[in-house]
Structure 1
Amino acid sequence: MRLHVGCAMWSLASWQGRLLPHPLPPAERLRAYATWCNAVEGNTTFYATPSRSTVETWAAQTDPDFRFIVKLPKTITHEHRLKGADEPLRAFLEAIEPLGPRTHALWVQLPASFGPSDLGVLGGFLQRLPRTWKYAVEVRHRAFFSDERSQRLLERALAAFDAEWVPFDTVTLFQSPPTSDAERDAWTKKPRLPRRSRALTGRPILRYLGRDATERTVEGWQPWLDTVAGWLREGRTPTVFIHTPDNADALTLARRFHDEVRARVPELDPLPEPMPNEPLTLF
């Protein structure tokens, strides 16, 4: 039984020398991160399709059971809105192929303007995708959360292709006014939507955003501990990503979330011990 946990990135300046060894060449940073967490959000691919050789280095730094949830490029999801994007989609799928089984899901994050009237487009897009990969969809249109009919239609569209609905829980962030520059920035950029905890497949994916203060973040994820423990007992294989506005302690928080779930499900496999933050030497 395994719970995969991770962060929004595998390299952050505030981690270097404090949590991860420093200096580390770029080709070794993911390897160091993977001793802390066993999953990562593939956010960089949203902005540009990486070269195949770059993706080969990602695969070389991780074990086959490490999980990437890889985001489709914005040219496909936001600019083309899932229509007429065959060429950028082909290039993307070819680029990520070296990840092999590490690609746990391809993540279709849709803009807030993509609403219930667009579900036919989403269904057509999912139907054309190769069955080589599993898929997960994140929506941000409020109707999918506030209107039961729209919610049912989306769930039906996803179920037809065994695709998961990815919730982004930002409730804790918006519970009280921001107290730092990072929190103020997150307030302007992150979606303000109700919490959703229903899994559609055996592979639920959760994105949770807390606060810069550790105690606020931990307090906010309490409802998720029983939910994730329940998924595990049902035989599901969840992946949970822990965010904070500045992400300074996201690595340690992801491991703490895993530990707190394991306290409820003792048969859960533990995470390995992380790499020491001192650079390795010969003597």
Structure 2
Amino acid sequence: MQNPAVGTAASSTGSRFAELPAGASQGPLRIEYRWVNEAAREAPIAVFLHEGLGSIAMWRDWPQALCERLGMRGLVYSRPGYGLSTPRAHEVKWPVDFMTLQARDVLPALLDALDIDASERRRMWLVGHSDGGSIALLYAARHPDALAGAVAIAPHVFVEDVSVESIAQTKQLYESTDLRGKLGRYHADVDSAFYGWNDIWLNPAFRQWSIVDELASIRQPLLAVQGHDDNYGTMAQIDTIAERVSHAQLAKLDACGHSPHRDAPQALNDAIAAFISPQRS
């Protein structure tokens, strides 16, 4: 059930909205987005792709800090079902290939709607976290000439038992603690956001999901980051990326869980800057 009070709490200062036509996987869709360092029109763009329960607001100030460090513009947006974007209808279940649909249809449609042309896309960097990291990998594999490179932070390339177990525990917390209220600060329809993500990850059919075979198509520079203390995935995720993408660089962070931009922001920013800066020189 949509909660208007939660929607008010989720309001994001500076957000704008792009209208995507029917055909963008679910369309028509209303996508919440925000620019970082918008005035730097000549700078390359970093597109931030949030986690499975994320939104513009949940990134907090990390995209700003990273863009300032890199001298880039940032495009931050809430995927359908999250933040203030078009919510998922409660009777709709995300399909097993929902991340592929985001990379294949929704992100390109958003770039079109914002008039980000081919030359800008060739200079564009994707920075994705968790499900967003998987979407970044899928976009890089499917659009190898439409980006400069990608950073995948705690991405999923196949389903591990630890992921499913942690997501099942999160469902228990959502239904028995104040987690729902906390997440409601970031989503206009918090149940839409939560159950869209939770239901598909706990769907038995999703256990066979894998994007490992697609990784070999990635040609542009790629950095994969994982925390040693991540309870949603193991180092096998980024080690598999390295096996399939010979030029990929890995960063394995100590004292870091599933959200390096919150758990170890300095180490993460240092790793990303060391990766991207030489590519731009």
Q: TM-score range by the shorter chain?
A: 0.3 to 0.5
User: Which structure carries more relative contact order (alpha carbon 8 Å, separation 6+)?
Assistant: 1
TM-score scaled to structure 2, two decimals? 0.33
TM-score scaled to structure 1, two decimals? 0.33
